[in-house]
Structure 1
């Protein structure tokens, strides 16, 4: 399965992660990342748009909308699982989170304890 992966705060929930927080995380994880700050035309919400190069030499793309959603594309759950696990570790324990894959766009609550790359990969693969 390859396509976009979505990790998001459920409706009515805001994550405590600012654009600065996520940009610092991305720069630490991917020192050569190309990151720009943009604004959603429809809502005026700020977001980060980023391209990162993986060890396999492929460039992958992502978007983080402030305090609420992370979209990762151009890769499989296995490609992104380590990054998702590290991102989730930035959130306080118990922070409500939902996941979704492009092929099956139905949000699923992230089960408590789904924090390891393997567990995240398995969950995302089961959704597609």
Structure 2
């Protein structure tokens, strides 16, 4: 994570079109971020959720709790039918967190991203409003 990466991230999160962006707080320290962007036009009932977490906090259930919280928030505060995430296929921690919350794998996006000069696969996961309505209450 370089200073240029940090500068780009700050510009992204202060974008006036950004719908929702939350710091992930652990003990009063911002250790990550979770946010969403609601689509427009034909995608206006769909939102993408994204997140990142500082490496020293991985494996503690923090992202799972953040995903549960934002999923409940999305389906109570907005009129949406679908929330989706597209993590890298090799990011098993992210995939497990999505699955624990109830996101369903929809497919593999082969060779769909380039990071550090490496072409990578991503996976599509979604959670529908009907999933949320039929689920037991989501507790952190």
TM-score between the two structures when normalised by the length of structure 1: 0.40
Q: Highest CA radius of gyration, 1 or 2?
A: 2
Q: What's the TM-score once normalised by structure 2's chain length?
A: 0.38
Relative contact order, higher structure (CA 8 A, sep 6+): 1
